[in-house]
Chain A
């Protein structure tokens, strides 16, 4: 196995009780047992269970040429379900984490004062966060980027709702919320961990032939089930979102963004403070927001709120949008939306005719969380077959005896241990 093609071989252990950071090595045995992502965060969770661990992990293919290899996973016991949950996070944040030099981050215990963790260039700094505790997510992102002097810093961050350990809260990826429907944001809050800031300039090795094999798979995906579809609007139409909400989304959509190496652009940037068609770099400083959780957007619209602006309020406060919709407001939200689960219910069961019912969905989500593949793409791209995954694991890590049975065993274990 050539681990350096997929991992930097380092686990960071952050002990908040002692305010200390330490490292352990990510061994070949751990990768053989759990492959990556949720396969390994589950093992680390069991190892550190008595210290209330919050674990952030990168998948086996995160930051590689594997199509959709954008995702990481946050694993912790949900305050809502009381069980281990795996929440995917995408954009560029998980890639940035892997390229900081840390594959996994295990946060243990809790701090007696607000802190933020700054990971960069193989270094881990546990810094005071009193200056941003109490601030909303948008202000916190701006202040942290300013403090560390880099606009490209990626963040997992919480707002006031998660600081108060609300079951209606979520953690946020940069300014734009997340797929956290299990209130893992409140776990950050209980630990007084305001943010994890990431900037990674490291590199991974690449196995011979892997780039070409990934380009071929990407071309097959683009020519497959997603062909002719574009943007969040087409997903919304396909999964039966209310026509009024779709119209609202379409009327404000500026452009659709893709997460790192994703062949489907599933995030719609909506503008409500200037014309959606404007592409002027000197325009409004905060013209709108980025929507990935279409069900949250639709729920807010259905609750009679102005969905674009209401999403922004949820993002700023760090509130899960469906919980806000249930409460009918975006301030003082206390109820959870009852959407918590082992994997994020922000991901539809079927998109564009691809989907294999609830059990099939669960397996695809477990695989996404292990491999670091975008969880939406795993549903909408049946071209990413299990046989193809096995072939690419073998090729990427020069690991010829990795088998379909092993992949199956690893996904099943992740599902069983979060049930």
Chain B
């Protein structure tokens, strides 16, 4: 199972990041999340990155992309780097009611597939 992002439906509300942080360390914040919103504000260009165990998944408006360790995150700038240090998405395997980010998203952007 992997978390997938249907980026064109995303509105940038960012509650998924905070929900994941809550799953990972029981607090509300964004810095411990396996998901990371990246944003070029003046262009209103945004997408979501998900740290997976062995890859980095990018869900952006142009489509999905998987990066292996060492590959450059093209265009996402320096603000994207911290995602590499984050804990990997575990698909909320221990959460009884399903993945917190999926439950929190108001726009049906996120799903577990595979």
Answer yes or no: do A and B interact.
yes
Q: Please give the number of chain B residues whose Cβ is less than 8 angstroms from any Cβ of chain A in the complex.
A: 37
Chain A nearest CB, measured from B16 CB (Å): 10
Is the pair B26, A206 in contact by a Cβ cutoff of 8 Å? yes
Q: Which of A75-83, A253-261, A319-327, A403-411 contacts B (4 or more CB under 8 A)?
A: A253-261
- Find B44's partner among A65, A254, A260 (CB 8 Å cutoff): A254
> In the complex, which residues of chain A have a beta carbon less than 8 angstroms from the beta carbon of B100?
211
List residues 49-104 of chain B with CB under 8 A from any CB of chain A: 60-62, 75, 77-79, 97, 100, 103-104
Q: With the chains together, A398 CA to B21 CA distance in Å? A: 21
Chain A nearest CB, measured from B20 CB (Å): 12
Is the pair A63, B106 in contact by a Cβ cutoff of 8 Å? no
> In the complex, which residues of chain B have a beta carbon less than 8 angstroms from the beta carbon of A174?
41
Is the pair A203, B28 in contact by a Cβ cutoff of 8 Å? yes
Known: A151-B79, A211-B19, A287-B43. A206 touches B104 (CB 8 A): no
Chain B nearest CB, measured from A215 CB (Å): 5
- Find A201's partner among B8, B14, B31, B79 (CB 8 Å cutoff): B31
- Closest Cβ neighbor of A218 among chain B residues: B106
> In the complex, which residues of chain B have a beta carbon less than 8 angstroms from the beta carbon of A416?
none
> In the complex, which residues of chain A have a beta carbon less than 8 angstroms from the beta carbon of B27?
203-206
Q: With the chains together, A218 CA to B18 CA distance in Å? A: 15
Main secondary structure of the interface of A (DSSP, over half): loop
Question: 1/0 contact trace for A258-293 toward B, CB 8 Å?
Answer: 111111010001000000000111111111101000
Chain A nearest CB, measured from B90 CB (Å): 17
Is the pair A286, B97 in contact by a Cβ cutoff of 8 Å? no
> In the complex, which residues of chain A have a beta carbon less than 8 angstroms from the beta carbon of B106?
67, 218, 221-222, 258, 262-263
Q: With the chains together, A206 CA to B21 CA distance in Å? A: 11
A202 close to B (CB within 8 Å): yes
> In the complex, which residues of chain B have a beta carbon less than 8 angstroms from the beta carbon of A99?
29
B40 close to A (CB within 8 Å): yes
A401 close to B (CB within 8 Å): no
Q: Please give the number of chain A residues whose Cβ is less than 8 angstroms from any Cβ of chain B in the complex.
A: 46
A150 close to B (CB within 8 Å): yes
Q: With the chains together, A257 CA to B10 CA distance in Å? A: 8
Is the pair A152, B29 in contact by a Cβ cutoff of 8 Å? no
Is the pair A175, B29 in contact by a Cβ cutoff of 8 Å? no
Q: With the chains together, A202 CA to B31 CA distance in Å? A: 8
> In the complex, which residues of chain A have a beta carbon less than 8 angstroms from the beta carbon of B44?
254-255, 257, 269, 287-288, 290
- Find A281's partner among B25, B43, B107 (CB 8 Å cutoff): B43
Known: A99-B29, A174-B41, A279-B61. A260 touches B14 (CB 8 A): yes
Q: With the chains together, A249 CA to B19 CA distance in Å? A: 33
Question: 1/0 contact trace for A288-325 toward B, CB 8 Å?
Answer: 10100000000000000000000000000000000000
Is the pair B28, A257 in contact by a Cβ cutoff of 8 Å? no
A64 close to B (CB within 8 Å): yes
Is the pair A282, B26 in contact by a Cβ cutoff of 8 Å? no
User: Which of B8, B45, B75, B79 has the most chain A CB within a 10 Å cutoff?
Assistant: B45
Chain A nearest CB, measured from B36 CB (Å): 11
Q: With the chains together, A202 CA to B21 CA distance in Å? A: 12
Q: With the chains together, A99 CA to B14 CA distance in Å? A: 15
Is the pair B75, A261 in contact by a Cβ cutoff of 8 Å? no
Q: With the chains together, A215 CA to B45 CA distance in Å? A: 27
Question: 1/0 contact trace for A60-80 toward B, CB 8 Å?
Answer: 000111010000000000000
User: Which of A255, A260, A269, A290 has the most chain B CB within a 10 Å cutoff?
Assistant: A255
- Find B29's partner among A204, A211, A256, A283 (CB 8 Å cutoff): A204
> In the complex, which residues of chain B have a beta carbon less than 8 angstroms from the beta carbon of A262?
11, 13, 106
A92 close to B (CB within 8 Å): yes
Question: 1/0 contact trace for A333-358 toward B, CB 8 Å?
Answer: 00000000000000000000000000
Chain B nearest CB, measured from A313 CB (Å): 16
> In the complex, which residues of chain A have a beta carbon less than 8 angstroms from the beta carbon of B62?
279-281
Chain A nearest CB, measured from B61 CB (Å): 4
Q: With the chains together, A99 CA to B107 CA distance in Å? A: 25
- Closest Cβ neighbor of A215 among chain B residues: B103
- Closest Cβ neighbor of A270 among chain B residues: B44
A212 close to B (CB within 8 Å): yes
Q: With the chains together, A63 CA to B22 CA distance in Å? A: 13
- Find B18's partner among A67, A259, A261, A265 (CB 8 Å cutoff): A261
Is the pair B29, A260 in contact by a Cβ cutoff of 8 Å? no
Is the pair B104, A63 in contact by a Cβ cutoff of 8 Å? no
Interface residues in chain A, defined as those with a beta carbon under 8 Å from any beta carbon in chain B: 63-65, 67, 92, 99, 150-152, 174-175, 201-206, 211-212, 215, 218, 221-222, 254-263, 265, 269, 279-288, 290
Which 9 pairs from chain A and chain B are nearest by CB? Answer: A203-B29, A263-B106, A203-B27, A258-B11, A279-B61, A258-B13, A269-B44, A265-B11, A261-B15
Subset of 16 A-B contacts with CB under 8 Å? A65-B22, A151-B40, A201-B29, A203-B31, A204-B28, A211-B104, A255-B11, A259-B13, A260-B13, A261-B15, A261-B18, A262-B13, A281-B40, A281-B45, A281-B60, A287-B43
